[in-house]
Structure 1
Amino acid sequence: MEETLGTKVLVNNMPGGGPGGTGQAFVMDAPHDGYTILGTSETPLLVPIMTGMPQTTKDFEYFIAGGSPGLLCVNKESGITSIEDLIAKTAADPEKYKVASTNGGLWFVLANLFGQYADVKLGNVTYDGSRPAITAAVSGEVAAVTASAGEVADFIKSGDLIPLVAMQTEDFDFPGFGTIPAVTKSLPALEKFLPLNQFIGFMVPVDTPSDVIAKLQEAFAVAMASEAVKTFSEEQYAIIYNLTGEEAREFSAKAQSTMSWILHEMGLSEFSPEDFGIPKPE
């Protein structure tokens, strides 16, 4: 976006991000002039219920580029060939067959949907990020992992991980592998909670001047039409959303509602979504 904006964009990676809200607090404390923007994924949607910080999707203007579908994969040596097989083996030996995920965030939510809403007891082991969770599955430390298609792509190509289901309501065609069935084909009870999509993009406080937001939207549109973004999305097996304005707000608000209430009903949130006016999914 630098050329359109006519300025250099500097990236500051801050520790304690995600649902910890460090980056969000930094942006909220800075002048709301468009010069300090927050690179984001879906994970910060959980900041209110995990930290008590009051800002929800109503307080931000979102620019959503796209996201990679979530997959449930198993170690190649696990002997598991289907989601039904994983469920059966877990029932027989729950300590041996567990699913790795990040500690909080979308992949954690998806890993725990089975037990909470489909009466399938898949044990969950959490890690500080997708990389160590994937490494645990590849090494055989755990039997399975939930992560994005882009994150596990190289391991699927190498044969170290075998995808069982796509964590969505539609099949996912993985180039070079084939069709990965939607999880709802085997567990239709999860359909009301899906799709629950990963997304990446950026956001600014909603009270940023309208002319500044318009300029950011222009730069975002140019970037989204670029070959660089197209190439990146193909490499990450991502779906392009290209959402701004009301569409982006509705998209993020729905994700915040679903994820927040799922975690709260699991007893894993520090605060109730009701405390922040986050509506319960219908």
Structure 2
Amino acid sequence: MRKLGLALLAVCVLAGAAFGAYPEKNIQGYIMWGAGGAMDNVSRAIVPIAQEHLGKTIILQNRTGATGAIATTFVANQPADGYSILFGAENPNLYKVTGLSQIDYDQFEPVFLMMANVGVVIVSKDSPYTSYRELIEAAASGKTITMGSTGPGGLPYVATTMIEKIHDVKFNKMQFDGEGPCITALMGGHIDAVAVGLLAAANFIHSGNVKGLAMISSERIESVASVPAVTEVYEEYRPYLPWGAFFGAFVRKETPAEVLDVLRSAFTKAFQDPRFDEFAKTMGGVKLGITGDDAKKYIRQNQSVAAWLLYDAGGAKFSPEEFGIERPQGK
């Protein structure tokens, strides 16, 4: 009996040691967007710090294509062992309603949501509109206002659709291949306004080349504190917020809880590191720092707003209702 007890104890110790070794090897990280973009920059800023706490290297590679669906599908088909991490943005939230893919964040566990890219409505420095209210009232009066867009699903498109729905106005949308070209067109006088991510606009706001009229947020953002939150002007936006792009790390849903704990601990410590804090301030993004159920709630809110706005605007192939995506409360 004593020998049996010792044997069982040895098995438990060995099992604990085996599990406690995670990670036993380097980890693969797959970034859904290309080199030099916001998702890439955020991932490459936090990973070197996180791996200091993991004791192993996270080998990053950009696996681009199909609005992030290539990387998302690839990681979804890897073993659920914590050795394949998806570094993704908000795009999978619209895969089902656009028909792009049946795989979205329902198949993943959020390790950590690092940052958000909050939308900001900007105009050129010479624009006659000096406030967000002036811009909206001009549109409501019937004046033709040309807004930049990047097509259905992109932040400028969804944000503009939100504005149209809340204020019952219509803009003339001019499509460009990315937020950068939108801002270039704005400064060149080809469009009147555009809603873009703050990460794309912050430097232009700071230099005075464009004016920020409103953050699509319920709070002012520290890096551009002079730009009012949209709810300071119109409370009607509050049910749709928080909303915007986000950047996070994800693993397959079946990943053991113990492995998730190790990863979440490492990314939490990296997030709190002064080096990442400095990066976030330089980038102009909003630090999130959420995980677990809070992260899931944040993702569901983002999906609810974007999917229903896209569907109501005729930009989705399928109703969000088909996938159990609830409308934003009261909307």
Q: Normalized against structure 1, the TM-score is what?
A: 0.88
Q: 2: CA distance between counterparts of 1:21 and 1:131?
A: 23
3-state SS of the aligned residue for 1:25?
helix
Residue 99 of structure 2, aligned match among 26, 48, 51:
51
3-state SS of the aligned residue for 2:84?
coil
Larger radius of gyration: 2
Residue 137 of structure 1, aligned match among 174, 183, 186:
186
On the 8 A contact 2:75/2:85 being kept in 1, the answer is: yes
- Compute the displacement of 1:161 (Å): 0.5
The code of the aligned residue for 1:84 comes to R
- RCO comparison, higher one (Cα < 8 Å, 6+): 1
Residue in 1 aligned with 2:36? Answer: none
- Which structure 2 segments of 5+ residues have no match? 1-49
On the 8 A contact 2:161/2:309 being kept in 1, the answer is: no
Residue in 1 aligned with 2:125? Answer: 76
List per-residue Cα deviations over 1:160-201 (Å, max 9, x = no partner): 1000111122344545xx522222343333332123133211
On the 8 A contact 1:45/1:256 being kept in 2, the answer is: yes
Residue in 2 aligned with 1:67? Answer: 116
Q: How many residues align?
A: 277
List per-residue Cα deviations over 1:148-167 (Å, max 9, x = no partner): 22321111122110001111
Q: 2: CA distance between counterparts of 1:184 and 1:211?
A: 41
Q: 1: CA distance between counterparts of 2:180 and 2:273?
A: 28
Q: 1: CA distance between counterparts of 2:168 and 2:318?
A: 25
1:265–1:256 CA distance, 2 compared to 1 (3 A): same
On the 8 A contact 2:73/2:103 being kept in 1, the answer is: no
Matched ranges for 1:208-227 at <5 A: 208-227=255-274
1:242–1:17 CA distance, 2 compared to 1 (3 A): farther
- Compute the displacement of 1:133 (Å): 2.0
- Compute the displacement of 1:115 (Å): 1.4
Residue in 2 aligned with 1:260? Answer: 307
3-state SS of the aligned residue for 2:211?
strand
Q: Normalized against structure 2, the TM-score is what?
A: 0.76
Q: 1: CA distance between counterparts of 2:150 and 2:60?
A: 24
Residue in 2 aligned with 1:7? Answer: 56
1:56–1:102 CA distance, 2 compared to 1 (3 A): same
On the 8 A contact 1:173/1:180 being kept in 2, the answer is: no
Residue in 2 aligned with 1:179? Answer: 226
The code of the aligned residue for 2:190 comes to E
Task: Give the alignment's Cα RMSD to 1 decimal.
Answer: 2.2
